[in-house]
């Protein structure tokens, strides 16, 4: 477990510190802050087991859990869990065999989330949620223990984003993924705006551009990105701030990769061709690659995009094909 950054309470970026953010969200935990409420369309059927008061202190900008393809039995961690909305939605999906942990640094948010977790557990008939005090920059969890990390409108608030991506990478199992809803700006936010405490707390001036977000993630060895724009949230000083859902995977080491090395792969479309690792894959054309590369293409998120041709494959024994 990493507690290297846990004690650095005054961690700051320009003139904004983590203490400023905590103060901001301590107030938002006890009284709804309208300026923080982005439009999020939760599916009402996902909310039926959740007390309605949770929505009053829900300050997310998307619905990462709905985009995370979470399976029963998985272990999900939500960073900056606030009042707990995404943890409560996920608790039903992962079921009694799965586990959900929410991490937040603001005690009044944690107190609210823990109070509502009891009701959620009663409604579900099992208790698989825990809320832990902790920082995005020092996640209070073991290495390689988590299947999926989610976060809803929080990475922009961190004053040390490099450390956040390192920590997400550390706690994910090989092949694990992050699914992050966050505010993304269409160009870099100038330092003057970054120093504005109010705009930082409102999830505006700490926002990254897509390029910055991808670079932080790539530096920490994530791959297989998908970037989905949800909506334009605000325009401040002519900078456009969008809500996005961003997904990426932690690589699987070659010795643990799925399937033996295979040499021919066929890109399945729908584009006429794609380029990956400096190789061209025209749709429908067999291309020879080395075994390690084929194994990578046989894993998420590429698996559905490529057909792996195994030269050792035997015809199916099942003659019911025509029946
Ligand atoms: C915009 S709110 C989002 C809350 C929740 N995800 C939701 O959708 O309602 C941000 C939350 O992240 C927490 N937070 C911000 N920066 C953090 C950090 N560096 N470490 C831990 N929690 C943090 C705040 O305390 C707050 O509860």
Q: Give me the pLDDT at residue 194, please.
A: 95
Q: Is residue 3 part of a domain?
A: no
Q: Are residues 98 and 166 in the same domain?
A: yes
> Which CATH number belongs to the domain containing residue 117 in this structure?
3.40.50.150
The reply to whether 162 and 175 lie within a common domain is yes
Q: Are 208 and 66 members of one domain?
A: yes
The whole-number pLDDT of residue 7 equals 45
CA of 131 to the centre of ligand 1 (A): 12
**Co-location of 74 and 212 in the same domain:** yes
Domain range enclosing 289: 254-309
Ligand 1 centroid–CA 114 distance in Å is 15
Contact between 245 and 67 (Cβ < 8 Å)? yes
Residue 300 and residue 218 share a domain: no
pLDDT at 10: 43
CA-134 nearest atom, ligand 1: 21
- Contact criterion met (CB below 8 Å) for 209 and 240: no
**Domain total in the chain:** 2
On whether both 119 and 206 belong to a single domain, the answer is: yes
What does the pLDDT read at residue 322?
58
Residues whose beta carbon lies within 6 Å of some atom of ligand 1: 18, 21, 25, 58-60, 80-83, 85-86, 104-106, 109, 135-137, 152-154, 157-158, 203
In a domain, 174, yes or no: yes
Over residues 101-156, the pLDDT tens digits come to 999 999 999 999 999 999 999 999 999 999 999 999 999 999 999 999 999 999 99
Residue 320 placed within a domain: no
Torsion of CA 189, 191, 194, 196, to 10 degrees: -130
Global pTM reads 0.91
- Ligand 1, pocket-test mutation among 66, 157, 205, 233, most atoms within 8 A of CB: 157
Angstrom distances, CA of residue 314 to CA of 210, 306, 317: 45, 20, 8
One domain, residues 278 and 213 = no
pLDDT, position 84:
97
The three-state (H, E, C) secondary structure of the chain, written as one string? CCCCCCCCCCCEECCEEHHHHHHHHHHHHHCCCHHHCCCCCCCHHHHCCCCCHHHHCCCCCCCHHHHCCCCCCCEEEEECCCCCHHHHHHHHHHCCCCEEEEEECCHHHHHHHHHHHHHHHHHHCCCCEEEEECECCECCCCCCCEEEEEEECCHHHCCCHHHHHHHHHHHEEEEEEEEEEEEEECCCCCHHHHCCHHHHHCCCCCCEEHHHHHHHHHHCCCEEEEEEEEEEEEEECCEEEEEEEEEEECCCCHHHCCCCCCCEEEECCCCCEEEECCEEEEECCEEECCHHHHHHHCCCCCHHHEEEECCCCCCCCCHHHHC
Residues of the chain with pLDDT under 50: 3-5, 7-10, 323
Q: Are residues 204 and 260 in the same domain?
A: no
Task: Output the pLDDT for position 295.
Answer: 84
Same domain, 258 and 245: no
Atom of ligand 1 nearest to the CA of 82: 27
Same domain, 61 and 144: yes
Clarify whether residues 142 and 282 are in a common domain. Answer: no
| pLDDT digits 0-9 by tens, 18-41 | 988 999 899 888 888 777 667 788
The atom of ligand 1 lying closest to the CA of 135 is: 20
Give yes or no for a contact between 141 and 130, defined as CB atoms under 8 angstroms apart. Answer: no
- At residue 123, the pLDDT reads 97
Please tell me the predicted confidence (pLDDT) of residue 9.
40
């Amino acid at each position: 477990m990493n507690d290297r950054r846990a004690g650095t309470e005054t961690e700051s970026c320009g003139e904004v510190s983590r203490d400023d953010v905590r103060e901001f969200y301590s107030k938002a935990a006890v009284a709804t802050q309208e300026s923080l409420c982005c439009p999020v369309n939760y599916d009402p059927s996902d909310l039926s087991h959740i007390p309605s008061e949770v929505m009053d202190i829900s300050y997310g900008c998307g619905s990462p859990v709905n985009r995370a393809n979470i399976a029963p039995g998985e272990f999900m961690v939500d960073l900056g869990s606030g009042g707990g909305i995404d943890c409560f939605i996920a608790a039903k999906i992962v079921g009694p065999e799965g586990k959900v942990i929410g991490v937040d640094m603001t005690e009044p948010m944690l107190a609210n989330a823990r109070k509502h977790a009891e009701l959620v557990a009663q409604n579900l008939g099992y208790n698989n949620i825990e809320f832990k005090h902790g920082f995005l920059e020092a996640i209070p969890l073991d290495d390689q223990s988590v299947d999926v990390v989610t976060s809803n409108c929080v990475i922009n608030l961190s004053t040390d984003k490099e450390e956040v991506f390192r920590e997400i990478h550390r706690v994910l199992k090989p092949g694990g993924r992050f699914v992050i809803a966050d505010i993304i700006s269409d160009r870099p936010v100038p330092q003057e705006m970054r120093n504005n405490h109010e705009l930082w707390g409102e999830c505006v001036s700490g926002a990254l551009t897509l390029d910055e977000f991808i670079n932080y993630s790539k530096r920490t060895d994530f791959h297989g990105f998908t970037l989905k724009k949800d909506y334009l949230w605000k325009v401040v000083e002519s900078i456009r701030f969008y809500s996005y859902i961003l997904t990426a995977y932690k690589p699987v080491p070659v010795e643990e990769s799925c399937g033996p090395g295979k040499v021919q792969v066929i890109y399945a479309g729908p584009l006429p061709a794609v380029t990956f690792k400096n190789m061209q894959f025209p749709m429908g054309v067999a291309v020879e690659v080395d075994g390690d590369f084929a194994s990578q293409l046989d894993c998420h998120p590429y698996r559905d995009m490529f057909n792996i041709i195994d030269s050792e494959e035997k015809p199916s024994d099942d003659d019911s094909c025509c029946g």
